[in-house]
Structure 1
Amino acid sequence: MNYAKVTAIVRSEKLERIEERVTAEGARGMSVTEVRGCGELKDFFNKDWLVNHARVEIFTRADRAERLAQAIMEEAATGEAGDGIVAILPVQQVYRIRTRAPLVEPGS
């Protein structure tokens, strides 16, 4: 089984719609973390360049990763600088801590 990790840094105000959409697309779970950082959009007039965003992380089958990334981009986009990024990373294995067994998703 090939796995991938979809990681997105998005505007916090878009988070609820993203959560609803990726769940509808079949994501069985996700982690969300409040993050601060800067990218293209820096406020040079402010002493603190960092802005608040949310990081969404989803472990999924590799064949589902692109669909989830596209769904995140559709929900997160405003067309303005600071919309965020999405990355798809290969994952060698995912284990369930409780059982210490490799994770097997339904339909695999």
Structure 2
Amino acid sequence: MIIKKITAIISTIQIESFSNVLRGHGVTGFSIHPVTGRGTYSNTFTPDELVPHTQIVVYTREKFARKIAQLIAETADVNSDSEGLITITSVDEFFWVYQNKPAQDDDFNFIEALNSNESAGS
């Protein structure tokens, strides 16, 4: 099994939508972190010119990585010049701490279509 790590830095205003969309597609494991940084846009009203964003980290099987990254991109799009970035990187090994064992294929899910509860709320 090949595991990929998806890291996305997106606008903080999209975080609730992002979380709902991923859960609707069966992705239950992800982390959300507040971050600050600077890309094409900087906050010239603060001394460090850094802008607050949200970083999302998702671990998944290789066959789901591009689909999840595309889903993040579509959800994160707020029609702005500085919307963030998404990376997909390889993971050499993945272990669950609480079980002290390697991850298995069925630990990672992705459902192509939204379930009816999620699509009705969008």
TM more than 0.5: yes
Q: Which runs of 5+ in 1 are unaligned?
A: none
Q: How does 1:1-108 map to 2 (within 5 A)?
A: 1-44=1-44, 46-106=46-106
1:47-85 per-residue CA deviation (whole Å, 9 max, x = no partner) reads 231011000000111110101100001010122122110
The runs of at least 4 aligned residues of structure 1 exceeding 2 Å deviation read: 43-48
In 1: Cα distance, 2:61 partner to 2:27 partner = 10
Deviates more, 1:85-94 or 1:42-51: 42-51
Quote the offset at 1:107 in angstroms: 7.9
Q: Which runs of 5+ in 2 are unaligned?
A: 109-122
* Seq. identity, %: 27
Quote the offset at 1:22 in angstroms: 1.5
Q: How high is the TM-score relative to the length of structure 2?
A: 0.81
In 2: Cα distance, 1:105 partner to 1:18 partner = 24
Return the letter of the residue paired with 1:59.
Y
RMSD: 1.7
Give 1 or 2: higher helix fraction.
Answer: 2
CA distance 1:31–1:107, shift in 2 (3 Å): closer
Deviates more, 1:26-35 or 1:4-13: 26-35
1:72-99 per-residue CA deviation (whole Å, 9 max, x = no partner) reads 0101012212211010011112101112
CA distance 1:105–1:88, shift in 2 (3 Å): same
